[in-house]
Chain A
Amino acid sequence: MARLRVPIGILISSDGPYSVVSKSMLCGALLGIAEAQAEHRDLEIEPIIANPRGDNALYSTMAAEMLANGIRHVVGCYTSSSRKEIIPLFEKADALLWYPSHYEGFESSSNVVYTGAVANQHLLPLVEYLLSYAGPKAFCIGSNYIWAWENNRILREAIGPHGGTVVAERYFPVGCTEFGQAIDAILAARPSFVFNTLIGESSYQFLRDLRAACRMCGIDQAREIPVASCTLSEPELAAIGPDAVDGHITSSVYFSSLDTPENDRFVKAYQAQFPDGPVVSADAEATYLAVRLLARAVTEAGTDEACSVKRAVALRPITAPQGEVRVDAETMHASLTPRIACSTLDGGFTVLREATRPVPADPYLIRNSSRFGAVAIRPVLRVAS
């Protein structure tokens, strides 16, 4: 039998404002390709790697070029804005984008396979945890794009019925590292927690500055004003630095510290292939998962034609480092296992709470939100810059 040769585009920004996470995604993809290649002897994967450097226009150009060259499967994108930029290209070419990152939901393109978590798998479990262990008063700070806006809306609506409030929402351009005024406002408001939707360098700088400002005021930031997010991952902890690395609450479906045989094998294989880092992250695992699912589906379908691959990918679950994962044929989103963890001084996470089984994705929150949007549960202050 002839080997099936499948070119796979890897569209990941290993440079630019969120390169720390993206580099681990690239490593996850490369590990996935190596392992899939070893497992599926009839499959020959040809990776074509492109680096859009965090520039949405480049995502569009590079994705168009890949599709024009006959590539039918592309693994990539981290930000929603980059994904939104290229989805029309995939719909036009009837190709598949394998999107390996957590995102805010409210999307279900039939030309995208979503292997990252959506709000009912990351944000809603986080809200439940914060209301129980931190308190009802939230201060939201985020990068000025859809990820932050939509997550803040969901947070606001989720905490409202439980007596929670959002005292302020502050938005900053992606890449911004000047947070003096926002931190003054946080210290003045003394929220129960800060909900952080900043990404990349902005997030690391904010965490460093907040910790330093709290120290100046004699405040134990991790205990008194904890910062919670759905994004912070292991390679980013290294980027934050030792002075502010610990005590941050993260909601995710994967942490490298998970104690399972499959994760143990995955982490060892990853470290062996990339001994100089970056360390394993949820995004690396989701990218690895996307590649493994893609390779298995192409092999089982016997073709890389999008429709057949989509049918094959939803046929049965896969055992991933995070546990069992199944792609829903209807929404093309994955069932994943929500977990809450706290960052530690050694640059890892301690899992505090985890779901007992994988949770199906509810991208439009039709099973996890009220019919009506919230009324009058608006922040006292909303500033976008």
Chain B
Amino acid sequence: MTTHRLIQNFRRSQGLLWAGPDFNADVLERTLLKLGVSLRRVESVSASDLDPDRDIVFLDADQPINPAPLLLPGANLTAAPVIGIVGVEAPSRLKLLAEAGATAILRKPIQAATVYSALFLGVNNHRRLKSAETRLAIGDRKRRGRRFLIKAVVALVQTRGLSDDDAYAELRRESMRRRLDLEEFCESLFQVDSNFPVAWPAGLAILTSHDRGGSAHAQDTDAGGRDGGDDDDIHGSSGRPDQARSA
């Protein structure tokens, strides 16, 4: 597990205050200045312009603001930490902050003593969620690729007479040799130009994007494999390769 480092010094960060013109930012601005954070008023925010390592959005939930621009297309997490500013603690206002992905709040009127805590929690909670989201995405990708791993193991068991443990070990060894994720490697085995499992293991003829730009050793191995390959045999032994990819 990756150790999560907490940010505790916010010097050179930039606060973006997304609030109405009547919001009194004096206390917030003065306090942020002491913490080395500048504050700039904005009328709107675009996720693509946000720098997660620099920007912190202060969102006034009492304004009729659409928080959608805080999210990059397809993302569930805001592009930068969002700290909600709450005046009216009504569900409709709090819902806005939940939708905006606020990871900390400041109550109105803002008290100087609460700003550092809100920054600390807001920024570090956002980093924790981002880290969790990244790990989730990797997990999802591996889960999807698991089908190809199972197909590859079955193919080796059926065509090479290996036990499933030995088949798995061989696939893993080969994926490590190619510096590829196991699932990604197995998916590549079922590409149209692959001759797996006929050429397995010595004459494996898979050209991955990694191999094309990879070492001379890997390219030599691939070239040998291509010479002896037979796509029809592969597909014949394992059914329709595209079936798994499209699953």
Contacts and interface: CB of A to CB of B under 8 A. Distances in A.
B15 to A, nearest CB: 14
A228 B5 CA distance: 29
Given A330-B33, A366-B9, A375 B112 contact: no
Nearest to A110: B112
A275 interface: no
A236 B150 CA distance: 73
Interface in B2-52: 3, 5-11, 30-31, 33-36
B30 to A, nearest CB: 7
Contact of A373 (B8, B10, B34): B8
A106 B33 contact: no
A107 B116 CA distance: 9
A63 interface: no
Given A91-B113, A371-B8, A373-B8, 11 more contacts: A91-B111, A108-B34, A330-B33, A330-B34, A364-B35, A366-B36, A371-B7, A372-B5, A372-B7, A372-B9, A375-B3
Given A108-B31, A109-B112, A109-B113, A366 B5 contact: no
A92 to B, nearest CB: 10
Interface of A: 87, 91, 106-110, 330-331, 363-367, 369-373, 375-376
Contacts of A330: 30, 33-34
Contacts of A87: 113
B8 A372 contact: yes
Interface of B: 3, 5-11, 30-31, 33-36, 111-113, 116
A105 to B, nearest CB: 11
A382 B112 CA distance: 32
B136 to A, nearest CB: 22
B51 to A, nearest CB: 14
A369 B8 contact: yes
Contacts of B112: 108-110
A38 B3 CA distance: 61
A330 B35 CA distance: 11
A373 B6 contact: yes
Contacts of A331: 34
A290 B103 CA distance: 40
B25 to A, nearest CB: 15
B116 A364 contact: yes
30 contacts: A87-B113, A91-B113, A107-B113, A108-B34, A108-B112, A109-B112, A109-B113, A110-B30, A330-B30, A330-B34, A331-B34, A363-B34, A364-B9, A364-B34, A364-B35, A365-B9, A366-B9, A366-B10, A367-B11, A369-B8, A370-B9, A371-B10, A371-B11, A372-B5, A372-B6, A372-B7, A372-B8, A372-B9, A373-B5, A375-B5
A108 B6 CA distance: 22
A375 B111 CA distance: 31
B11 to A, nearest CB: 4
Contacts of B34: 108, 330-331, 363-364
A370 B8 CA distance: 8
A373 B36 CA distance: 17
B68 to A, nearest CB: 30
A310 to B, nearest CB: 12
Contact of B9 (A91, A108, A363, A369): A369
B137 to A, nearest CB: 23
A13 to B, nearest CB: 23
A185 to B, nearest CB: 27
Interface centre among A106, A107, A109, A364 (most CB of B within 10 A): A364
A63 B202 CA distance: 84
Contacts of B36: 364, 366-367
Contacts of A363: 34
Contacts of A364: 9, 34-36, 116
Q: Would you list the 7 A-B pairs with minimal beta carbon distance, nearest first?
A: A366-B36, A366-B11, A373-B6, A372-B5, A373-B8, A375-B3, A371-B9
Nearest to A376: B3
A364 B115 CA distance: 12
Nearest to A365: B9
A108 B9 CA distance: 15
Contacts of B111: 91
B109 to A, nearest CB: 11
A108 to B, nearest CB: 5
Contacts of A110: 30, 112
A369 B11 CA distance: 10
A364 B10 CA distance: 9
B165 to A, nearest CB: 36
Nearest to B8: A373
Nearest to B3: A375
A370 to B, nearest CB: 7
A76 B9 CA distance: 29
Nearest to A332: B34
Interface centre among B7, B9, B36 (most CB of A within 10 A): B9
B198 to A, nearest CB: 49
Contacts of B6: 372-373
A106 B9 CA distance: 11
B75 to A, nearest CB: 24
Contacts of A375: 3, 5
A367 B36 CA distance: 9
A335 to B, nearest CB: 15
B10 to A, nearest CB: 7
A330 B112 CA distance: 13
A339 to B, nearest CB: 26
Contacts of A373: 5-8
A107 B117 CA distance: 11
